[in-house]
């Protein structure tokens, strides 16, 4: 089974969004590929998932960007509630 970071590495992607789950191996691969991890913590919050592994990514040297994923298909009714 191919993970999103493996696909990003194969395709030479510049960024990978929705990294709710990524292993240390995945973080290392993303760092080598110089791919930006785009974390959307409100998605994890709204779906009651474990928060994204920001520290794992930062410690591996992966550039991290934050997004809200606050759009019409998101489950939150207001950013303030998140």
Give the chain's domain count.
1
DSSP at 51: P
- Measuring CA to CA, which residue among 11, 53, 55, 52 is closest to residue 35? 11
71 pLDDT band (50/70/90 cuts)?
Answer: low
Mean pLDDT of the chain: 80
Structural domain of residue 18, as residue ranges? 4-81
Mean pLDDT value of segment 44-51: 81
Over 60: is that where the pLDDT of 42 sits? yes
Q: Is the dihedral of CA 80, 38, 57, 52 positive or negative?
A: positive
Over 80: is that where the pLDDT of 59 sits? yes
């Amino acid at each position: 089974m191919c993970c999103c970071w493996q696909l990003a590495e194969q395709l030479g992607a510049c960024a990978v969004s929705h990294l709710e789950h990524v292993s240390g191996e995945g973080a290392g691969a993303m760092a080598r590929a110089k791919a930006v991890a785009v974390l959307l913590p409100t998605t994890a919050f709204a779906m009651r998932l474990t928060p994204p592994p920001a520290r794992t990514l930062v410690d591996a040297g992966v550039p991290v960007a934050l997004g809200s994923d606050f759009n019409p298909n998101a489950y939150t009714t207001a950013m303030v509630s998140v």
